[in-house]
Chains A and B, each alone.
Chain A
Amino acid sequence: MEQVPILKIGPTLFVSIQIDLQDDTVLRLQEDLADELAASGASGVIIDITAVEIVDSFIGRMLTMIGSISRLFDAETVIVGMRPAVAITLTELGLSLSGVRTALNAEKGLEILNGKT
């Protein structure tokens, strides 16, 4: 099973998804992130989905759950880089990714996290 790397830069964890996600990989990422949040005390998570071609209901639910889990560690999650076609498809699918912030790109995502006091 492939693994998505988690980078810690200052108080922020960066996750850039560069592979075709299968369900097990997303579940693994969720566990790895929870471990990393607990170990590092990070206050923010940025998940870059620029390279992600589809977000289906499972992946969407996992992204929402990652947001909820982060909050339990007092960290905020921002999803960045969603492709327009993915945004349209997600909306038609009926998924709103409620509970997680989104930003256009990683830079704007960082601004959101830095604005958090």
Chain B
Amino acid sequence: MDEMPIQTGDDVVRVRQQVRTAAAENGLSLVDQTKLVTAASELARNTLVHGGGGVARIEVVKSPNGRAGVKLYFTDEGPGIPDIDLALTDGWTTGTGLGLGLSGARRLVDEFALDSKPGSGTSVTAVKWSR
């Protein structure tokens, strides 16, 4: 699937809608769709607010045992995260939220990877599998 820009709040809504469509088309249950879209919303907001904007990519993937899944990529070229472990801690916040964005998004998906270095942006990958 094409890359989607994340530069405005409207873009965040569009990413959510695309993730919803991909999740529904690939057999995720309503609860799993909702979890994935919620995670996408958190991650897209991070890309916009903390990364200064970036791109999202949505991919349909297959597991070795044949289950379908939806894989999300979010990348930005923002300031990066100095301490990833700290950023993934419940309640840790840059001051604008509850500190549940990243840690919550990680809980809502089946696979989660975060790569970031100060000064060179952040990329997050998240996968949710159909059951």
What residues make up the interface of A, taking CB atoms closer than 8 Å to B?
A: 20-25, 53-58, 60-61, 83-86, 88-89, 92-95
Contacts and interface: CB of A to CB of B under 8 A. Distances in A.
Interface residues of B, number: 26
Nearest to A94: B100
Contacts, number: 74
A94 B38 contact: no
B103 A94 contact: yes
B97 A61 contact: yes
Contacts of A23: 9, 12, 45
A60 B41 CA distance: 12
Contacts of A89: 31, 34-35, 38, 108
Interface of B: 9-10, 12-13, 16-17, 20, 30-31, 33-35, 37-38, 41-42, 45, 90, 97-98, 100-101, 103-104, 107-108
Nearest to A84: B31
A57 B94 CA distance: 14
B9 A22 contact: yes
Given A22-B10, A22-B12, A94-B90, A56 B38 contact: yes
A74 B100 CA distance: 30
A94 B13 contact: no
B108 A93 contact: yes
Nearest to A21: B13
B97 A54 contact: no
- Which of A21, A56, A88, A92 is packed against the most chain B CB atoms within 10 Å? A56
12 contacts: A22-B12, A23-B9, A23-B12, A54-B34, A54-B41, A55-B38, A56-B45, A57-B98, A84-B31, A85-B31, A88-B35, A92-B107
A57 B100 contact: yes
B18 to A, nearest CB: 12
B50 to A, nearest CB: 13
A85 B37 CA distance: 11
A22 B34 contact: no
